[in-house]
Amino acid sequence: MSTAERDELIGCVLDDRYRIIRRIGIGGTGIVFEAGCTADGSTVAIKTLRPCFVDHIDLGARLQREVEVARAVRHPGIVQAIDDGVLIDGSPFMVMPLMHGESLSRMLLRRQRMDVAEVAVIASRTAAILHSAHCAGYVHRDVKPEHILMNRSATGDLTVHLLDFGVCSSEGAPDEERKREKGKVFGTPTYVSPEQASGEVDIDGRADLFSLGIVMYEALTGRVPFSGATVSKLLVRIIRENAPRVSEVVPEVDSDIDALIAGLMARRPGDRLPSARAVARSLASHIGDRKLVERQLAKTVHASARHTDTSPTVRCKALPKRNVA
């Protein structure tokens, strides 16, 4: 991955409106720049594809899908799409607010483990965002700590955003897209549901609930429930094995939250809670004084000036292999 990719855009003005200032993030398929609006001097973030993916039809469509989701799902936890357009090479770009904050991934690298009330607050807020997306016909398919961004508002309140709907599925997707996706695994292997790991196309919001369960497990135990020497072996374990219980690592954990997380990570979608809204409601009793917990958690956020602060949770370890039930 070249650190000079798309440097030719720095200093350029896109659509006579956005002057590219600097690159602030680069991922597997995309690059994010900081830009200034020529009309009012405000600062925004612009996301586009890496040069090697300019001609990739599906990746271009996924970036446009992010714009679609941002405009179709009205929730404060989803980053807005201010504008969108096409670069001179034909690849799409998306204009977003310049986000600040700390990812749950980065927070876990600092803290290793979190208490139940904190995890319940973060999961509850994330579930509320997912509920709005699911109601609009979208499944995120890549819920993980790197994509949960937290910050502290000017009044000291906690803000939570769910980032990157770039691999989300849409119930309105064209048949050609669905055919191309058949048998492929979308999402980050460590956090995918069994149905995603199997390459199923017809999944619903319960796949995101499985991923949220893994996030909660990780935040409470300091490790992820599944691992493998290769991606293939990891996916096989997710498909065939029951997830371990939080109580096996943290014996003192409340039995109700232990059962809730186990239910989210049930192998069969029908054995999980029916909706993200049901998850949020189930978590309410584990939070206590929500406002107090949220404000205390907000104080611990180390806000970054970058668009995203999404360092992977490389510290995580999984439990030993288990037998299939």
Continuous segment of H or E residues that includes residue 48: strand 43-49
Selecting among 55, 84, 142, 258, the annotated active-site residue is 142
Q: What are phi and psi of 140, to 5 degrees?
A: -60, -50
The residues, ordered by sequence, that sit 6+ positions from 89 with a Cβ below 8 Å of its Cβ are 51, 54
CA distance 99 to 110: 21
| Burial class for 218, CB neighbours closer than 10 Å (0-12, 13-18, 19+) | buried
CA distance 213 to 186: 18
Question: Which residue is listed with tokens 């607050």?
Answer: 121
Beta bridge partners of 78: none
CA distances from 315 to 82, 107, 118, 119 (A): 36, 12, 20, 18
CA distance 266 to 264: 6
Q: Is 175 a catalytic site residue?
A: no
In 3D, which of 153, 151, 166 has the Cα closest to residue 103? Answer: 151
CA distances from 97 to 20, 81, 127, 153, 182 (A): 14, 8, 22, 15, 34
Q: Which residues are catalytic?
A: 142
